[in-house]
Structure formats: C-alpha cells, structure tokens
Amino acid sequence: MAILEILEYPDPRLRTQAKPVKVVDDSIRTLIANMLETMYDAPGIGLAASQVNVHQRIIVLDVSENRDEPHAFINPHLELFDGTIETEEGCLSVPGFYEPVTRAEHIRLTALDRLGEPLELETHGVLAVCIQHECDHLEGKLFVDYLSSLKRMRIRRKLEKQQRIQA
Ligand code: GNR
Ligand code: NI
C-alpha cells in the first residue's frame, strides 16, 4: 500500500473531468486501497481519485466514528431528492479552510463496487453530503466554487502563499 500525494487548490489538474472506469480490475482495486490509506492518513472522511491526480471516476469514503467502515464507489451516479442541508465543509485539497455549503440532504447513489458489481444506496446527512462533495471532484468542481468570489479569492491567495513557502 502507499500514501499518495494530494493536489492542492488552485492546482489546475483538480479541474480535470474524470473518465468512467471501463474494467474493474486489480489495478483499480490497488488504487482504491491506496486511496483509502491516503484518506485515513490525511485524515479525511472522503477522497476522490481526482485529488491524487488519477482522472477516473472513483471515490472512497468513511464517515464512521471508529474509521472502520470504508466505502468505495466506481462510476457513481447521483440522484438528488428535495430538501437541503447546510454543512461546514472542508477539503483535503483546500487545507485549513471550512465554510458552510448547502446541498441535497437526501440522495440515491448507483455505482459499481470493488468487484465491479452494481450497487444502490439511499442515504441522508453527512454521508449524503460527503458523496456529493466527492462526486463534484470527479467533475473538476471544488467546494470553494459554492462560495462568494471574494471568499474564494482570499482562500486562493493564502494557499498560493503557503505553497510558495513550501516549495
Ligand atoms: O475530510 C473531509 N471532510 C469533509 C467535511 C465536510 C464535507 C466534506 C468533507 S470531504 C473532506 C475530504 C475531501 O476533501 N474529500 O474530497
Ligand atoms: Ni474534497
């Protein structure tokens, strides 16, 4: 297993539209294992392949208290139901910033599992929010895109400054 490097905003590679996975094979299962290890290490409650510069439609999540309920979804498809929820969101690609975002409170997800078998999940609350956040990454979208341009600009400037210091 391996810990993968997480791209940080405003890296333009985070804007890449991810492509569907054609065959769920061992290379995909290895990538999922490495994404889960990277998510737990960070630590985060979700991770999209886009964040580790792999532009395929794969997300992993674990919103459990004990960090022992890993989920992996391949080629996820979302249906949003009526009703919204506002949550303070953060993102491993936007480290250190948390802002409220409004999303659907109730969703239905269809996807493939690690064996390439179709699955279906209807869920609410934190898991529903996290799944929407991860699916956005696959479209090249980040939670900062829901904020005012002033807030987004402030976050961008601070992260660019940090990244210059780190480089
Ligand atoms: O770790 C994460 N926490 C989080 C909190 C609120 C809403 C969404 C998230 S996802 C984030 C990890 C991440 O960046 N996934 O893409
Ligand atoms: Ni994120």
Question: What pLDDT, on the 0 to 100 scale, is given for residue 166?
Answer: 87
**Overall pTM > 0.95:** yes
CA 80 / ligand 2 centre spacing (Å)? 19
Question: What pLDDT, on the 0 to 100 scale, is given for residue 75?
Answer: 98
Question: What pLDDT, on the 0 to 100 scale, is given for residue 78?
Answer: 98
Q: Is 134 a catalytic residue?
A: yes
103 lines ligand 1 (CB under 6 A): no
CA 12 / ligand 2 centre spacing (Å)? 15
Q: Point out the ligand 1 atom lying closest to the alpha carbon of residue 48.
A: 16
Nearest CA to ligand 1 atom 7: 89
Name the residue type at position 27: S
pLDDT tens, per residue, the chain with 167 residues: 899 999 999 999 999 999 999 999 999 999 999 999 999 999 999 999 999 999 999 999 999 999 999 999 999 999 999 999 999 999 999 999 999 999 999 999 999 999 999 999 999 999 999 999 999 999 999 999 999 999 999 999 999 999 999 87
Whether residue 142 contacts residue 14, with contact meaning beta carbons closer than 8 Å, is answered with yes
What torsion do the CA atoms of 6, 11, 16, 21 make, to the nearest 10 degrees? -10
Looking at all shown ligands, the one closest to residue 130's CA atom is 1
- Residue 41 belongs to what H/E stretch? helix 26-41
Question: What pLDDT, on the 0 to 100 scale, is given for residue 136?
Answer: 98
CA 27 / ligand 2 centre spacing (Å)? 23
Residue 22: Cβ within 10 Å count = 9
Catalytic residue among 79, 134, 139, 160: 134
Nearest to 93 by CA among 159, 151, 32, 41: 159
